[in-house]
Each structure stands twice: as structure tokens, then as C-alpha cells.
Amino acid sequence: MFLSQHGNSGALLTGATLLTGRIKGIDRPALAPMLPAYEKRFMLMDAGANTNCKPINLVQFAQMATIYLKNTFGIEKPVIGLLNIGTEANKGNDLMKETYQILTEQSEELGINFYGNIEGRAIFAGNVDAVVTDGFTGNVFLKTVEGLGKLVKRSLTENLKKNIFTIIGSVGAIPAIKRLSKSIDYKEYGGALFLGIKKPVVKAHGSSDEKLFHYTIKQAEEFAKKEAVKMMIEEFEKIYR
């Protein structure tokens, strides 16, 4: 088990890959954080480890997400979406178009329950269990989500404390407000897993405080206890034997 708070995802990926090695059959490991959605959570792959990707990388991200979510969370057929600027097959750049075509034509063969293209605004509706994209787009998306969560929390708190009337009026809603705050707080979801290497590796956010690091340690413990890496090695051996 390796737990890091290093700010450079690429450097951590390189170091972890050199020290532990990639799982046979996987071209590039990916950084995979869990994020909140309506009444559930979803996995984002990749969130910053690979800024330049080929279609095979995104396809394998979808395979890894499927294997991890099935074996760790018991989701029989995880729904995998492809992050894009539109839902139509002809939308996006060449990478997204080619990946969409492969996932559409070979999803059954690859063991992927492919949802299709999904726009950023639709991800939080809870219709998908994982979203795949290249590391550049994924990292921008991740940091936007974190920033939006902070904005909502800060704005809500300031408006509820604006004056005596808003304070009194909010008393009855405190339990609901706390649940909302908890559900959109990215710190509750821990760090990001590195999927695709032979040992469990978890990366905490570069600006982690004690709360986020606490949840990251708990996440790392669960990652090891569930033997997620062992399961992924076994599954990819079946695929690429």
C-alpha cells in the first residue's frame, strides 16, 4: 500500500509504475476519484494522470472502472459514460469519436455497459456509475466540481447567517442543510485511486487538510481489504491471455 499527498499526479504515477509495475494488458494506469451524484456517487477516470490519450486508453479506463465497481461496490453492471460536449455520436474531437465507436461496437465483447456520450451537466443526475475521459479534461472537470462545491457551501452559509431573520428561519432546516453540505463535500470521498498498477496506491489532494486525509486513509484501507488490485489482475488476465 502506498499513500501520497504529492501535488504532481504525473510524477506519482511514474514513480508508482516504476516501483510496482503495470498490470499485464493495461497500457496506462489512471487516476480515479469518486465524486457525488444524485443519491449515489460515480468514478471519474482519468482525473489527471494521462493528459494525452489514445482510444485504447479510454477503453481500458472503462474496463478498469467496470471491474473495480463490480468487485468493490457490488454493482453488477456498472454504467459507463464517455464525457463529451454532446450526446450525439458525431460530437467531440477525434479521440472521443473513435472511443465512442469502439465502445458502441465492442461493448458486449469488452464487458462494458456503455451508456454513450454524456455531457458534464448530466453526470450528476445519477444515471452513470463511472465517466471516462482523458486526464486533461478530467482534471479540469474535477477541479471545477471542487470549486463549485466550495461556492455552494460558502454561499449557503453566508446567506443563512445574513441577519437574525435568516438565522431563525434556518433553524428547522439545519438537518437538511447538514445532509446537503455533507453530500457535496468532496473531502468526504477521500483521495483518488491509481488503477492499473500491481499494488494499491491512493493519492490525496495536494491541498488536503486533516479531514480529507482522514477519509483518504479510510479509503486506502478499504481498497486493500477488498483486494481490488488482485481482482483487477485476475480479470485482465482473462481478457488478455
DSSP calls for the chain = -EEE--S-HHHHHHHHHHHH-BPTT-SS-EEEEEEEETTEEEEEE-SSS-SS--HHHHHHHHHHHHHHHHHHH--SS-EEEEE-S-SSTT-S-HHHHHHHHHHHHHHHHHT-EEEEEE-GGGGGGS--SEEE--HHHHHHHHHHHHHHHHHHHHHHHHHHTSSHHHHHHHGGGHHHHHHHHHHH-GGGG--EEEESBSS-EEE--TT--HHHHHHHHHHHHHHHHTTHHHHHHHHHHHHH-
Residue 4's pLDDT band (cuts 50, 70, 90)? very low
Residue 186's pLDDT band (cuts 50, 70, 90)? low
Percent of the chain with pLDDT over 90: 42
What pLDDT, on the 0 to 100 scale, is given for residue 3? Answer: 46
CATH topology of domain 2-141+189-240: Isopropylmalate Dehydrogenase (3.40.718)
Domain boundaries, the chain: 2-141+189-240
Residue pLDDT, tens place only, 194-219: 899 888 787 776 555 666 666 667 76
Percent of the chain with pLDDT over 70: 83
The predicted model scores a pTM of: 0.83
Residue pLDDT, tens place only, 99-140: 999 999 999 999 999 999 999 999 999 999 999 999 999 999
What pLDDT, on the 0 to 100 scale, is given for residue 136? Answer: 95
